[in-house]
Amino acid sequence: MEAVALTKAQPKTTTPVARREMRLKEGRKRREALSRKQLSQVHSRTRQFNPIDQLLEHDAGRIKRLLPLKYARMAVSPFAFFRGSVAIMAADLAAEPHTEINVQLCGDAHVQNMGSFEAPDGRVVFDINDFDETISGPWEWDVKRMAASLVLAGFESNHGRSTCTRAVQAFAASYCKLLEDLAEESVLVAARYQIRRIKKSQPVLAALNQAERANPADLLKRYTTKGKDGRYSFEKIADLLWRVVGREKAGVIASLEPYRNQLAPERLHLFDFYQIEDVAFKVVGTGSVGLRDYVVLLFGNGDQDPLFLQIKQEVQSAYAPYLRSCSNSRCHQGQRVAEGQLKIQPLSDLMLGWTDWEGHHYLVRQLNDHKGKVDLEQLKEDGLGALASVAGELLARGHARSGDALKIKGYMGGPEKIIDALVAYGLEYAGQAQADYEQFQKAIREGKIRVAA
């Protein structure tokens, strides 16, 4: 929720009930500037930029030799392209009128940026799990991006337009219902709300089962080898993982000191039991390829207690040029991501933090600690709609935790117009993304973009 300073004087004539009604009224008043029907409008046809130039400009400053690998991953399908080109949609959204009701955006809300991971209490939970683009911005930007992603993922899973339409309807209805419910709860109840029906979704259940099987011991077998001296070192895996040595390794290790200094005392106590064993560079994801990403192997209580820390470079959010929040160079991008994640999630990584090294900002977190991802194969048949409902609830909870649910509820009113608008937007923007993908393929054929073999 948006905080009100305790020192801020409240008018003596206002009561708690009156202040609640004022927030609802503020939301309803936003309809005068932007009707709910207008949320359906896609303005990309009147773009003032070339989408491929926008993509290349956003990728400037990354490790050039890795960019062909990123573009090869994006070239697989329109949905893969959509995942790796958030900068294009950010520019499109910024050109559209918006509600000016802000939340902490996930920023890159799509179906494969949800997954399962181990919470601090040891339970495996399912939630949004990628926050590289997080920033304070209009609530509808997240739901518009998720709506378009459901259509594109649905097409990739061999669903037709009608099935994708129903999936977006389920997503939007789920979002509206939970957002309205949480707006009626106390602030603290809404902040710690847990989604109980989550295991009824087959894609979610598959991700949870995958996470139960994934643990640091598995990573130790997959990524390292044990020498005759009993020491472990990372193996080289083509286009994925390789050891770093010398000055680079020393720099990564040194970066853990500022990270250590910002850990809470109870987490610092646990971290200090671990000793560094080896360091590697890892290529991750689609949109993040080309950024610096290191993995540090540490051991605690013997070699059956490995800890893999990911030290992941973070750059300015793709939305930052269009928003006032954290848009200047003084903002620590790793801190932005970590704090944004904590605002959105009720349960987060025990080792979450940030650091910096040689002018770059980094997020620090556990690598694959009981993590599971959404498999597009699981979206066939009823899987797409089931996942869509969960996605709506996850975004609604994150927005209720980090924004003003009463203002959003006031703007939404009855859910029908919001649902219709999001369905129309999702379908049309998915078509735009497919057209952008064709331009991307054309740029590859013409040699403007080089892809790895």
Q: What is the DSSP string of 392-419?
A: HHHHHHHHHHHS-HHHHHHHH-SHHHHH
Torsion, CA 365, CA 368, CA 371, CA 372, rounded to 10: 130
Q: Please give the mean pLDDT across all residues of the chain.
A: 90
pLDDT value of residue 43: 86
pLDDT value of residue 200: 60
**CA–CA dist 379, 202 (Å, integer):** 8
Chain segment 345-373, per-residue pLDDT in tens: 988 889 999 999 999 999 999 987 456 66
Domain ranges of the chain: 22-211+374-445, 213-366
Chain segment 225-273, per-residue pLDDT in tens: 999 999 999 999 998 999 999 999 999 999 999 999 999 999 999 999 9
CA 243 from chain centre, in angstroms, equals: 28
Q: Of the candidates 100, 93, 112, which has an alpha carbon nearest to the alpha carbon of residue 154?
A: 112
pLDDT value of residue 212: 56
Token code pair at residue 368 = 């694959």
Predicted TM-score of the model (pTM): 0.91
Chain segment 41-85, per-residue pLDDT in tens: 998 778 989 999 999 999 998 999 999 999 999 999 999 999 999
| Alpha-helix runs per DSSP H in 37-138 | 51-58, 67-74, 78-84, 86-94
Burial of 297 (0-12, 13-18, 19+ CB in 10 A): buried
**CA–CA dist 288, 293 (Å, integer):** 9
Q: What is the mean pLDDT of residues 79-99?
A: 96
Chain segment 277-313, per-residue pLDDT in tens: 999 999 988 889 999 999 999 999 999 999 999 999 9
Chain segment 146-181, per-residue pLDDT in tens: 999 999 999 999 999 999 999 999 999 999 999 999
pLDDT value of residue 245: 96
Evaluate if residue 11 carries a pLDDT over 80. no
**Position 124 confidence tier, pLDDT thresholds 50, 70, 90:** confident
pLDDT value of residue 201: 64
